[in-house]
Structure 1
Amino acid sequence: MSDFTDVKEPTSLLHAPKAPEEFSQGPILDTFNDCADLMSPTYWVTEAYNAVFGYNPLDEVVQWFAGDWESFAKCGDVWDQFGKAVAAVSDNVEAGNKTLDITWDGRAGDAAYKYFFELAGKLDEVKDQFDKLKTEYDHLSHAAYSTAEAIKGFLGGIIDGLLITAIEISAGTLLSWTGIGAAVGYGLAALEVANMLRLWAKATEAFGNAQAIVNGAVGVIETIAATLYGSLSTFPEVGAYDHPEPSI
């Protein structure tokens, strides 16, 4: 029986999950910290974003990305580890089955070989589903992070515009008694508003594209999960032993 030794150690493949490298700088919402610093609620900045959007665009973006995306991203690593551990168990079963085939002849030995052969195949099916889950979770995590980075760029332009608009509105208001001052201040502000609306349209489009990816992936993940559940629920069973002598 000493020949029946494992060729791999499945538990050695399990460890604390890690998030993808792009999350190493912190949670996804930290991406917008610089923007928050610039969006200090001064009177004129508040007036500017209320006039243009009717709300604070940074608050809106934070709501878009609310949630623990870092933990979600770590799930991809968990599925990967599960897949590798299951594959290691399958390798051990296959190795043991080869030894079994050499040392056990007869109908019972053949039945045992068939059982362990099917068991290893079922474990390989489970491993494949874990690999698919890893792929989808990694894809979603990357989509969320890259979208946040893109929107941060658009938001930076919007905040620059809000700061300029705040100055121009305040200048137009303070110099409104001259007539010319008001025309210049409010006129320049209108140009900034048009640019901000363009940037906001790009930001919402980027988020919409990411949302479409998420919606599509949810369906894929549900299908994978159903297949995985089916695989885990239909492991081969040990068949009844039929002795060649009917009386036994």
Structure 2
Amino acid sequence: MFEKLKILLIQMVSYLSIYEIGLILIGFFVFIMVFTLGLLLRGRRFIARFFFFLSIVAILAAPFGLHFMMKNVFYTTDVTLTSAYPMQYTKGFFVAGNIANKGRVPINECLISVDSVRDDKDSQFMRLFNSIFPKSSFSTSIDIDIEPDSNAEFSVIIPSFEAKEPLLFRVYVDCYLSNKFTQKMQKKKQAHIENIITPKEPEVSIEINESESTEQDEEEQDLASQIPNLPDSQSGSPSS
């Protein structure tokens, strides 16, 4: 449970770019200003209560305002799917299409999701129920750089998807500007595991003093010059 919560928090932090952080700081600043006005005007009951009420509304409306700005201002996309079908010989779902960035900021990552849903042809309630509680949901992220007013092609296989009859599914594409925090954490974790499995051998450096080696060479040459040359008869070679 704790590990799943940790992964969820890391993913949420990864979704925050400088634009979302700026909006959060602006919302927090508005809350502080309104709440401070309520404290300063606490002598006037009606006005103080009004500002306290506004501060509570600002806190509760902050997530919805952030979501609206992300969907309709920052990361507005136009997605056209050209292929979407389950794999036949392996567990997976293939998705291909085109993503057009209609927002105000660049995009560098997209989350591709596929949900297996129930039949909701004639039921509005079932459509809402499928959007909140699908039968199964699988997703994967892709790195894709798209500047504003530009588009790019993509194709990806969503792993672990298993086709079951009746085959009813929905595909979602959610793009954003990621700070790559999740990828950085995974790389650090992978590097740590590799260091544990294959630890690096310590490097041993041998320093050779040139002056000492030169003196040793001279002593060996002096000793060799003091040894007299043996005649051929005393040498190890056979005589004729």
Q: TM-score range by the shorter chain?
A: under 0.3
The higher-RCO structure (CA 8 Å, 6+ apart) is: 1
Larger radius of gyration: 2
With structure 2 as the length reference, what TM-score do the two structures score? 0.25
Tell me which protein shows more helix as a share of its residues.
1
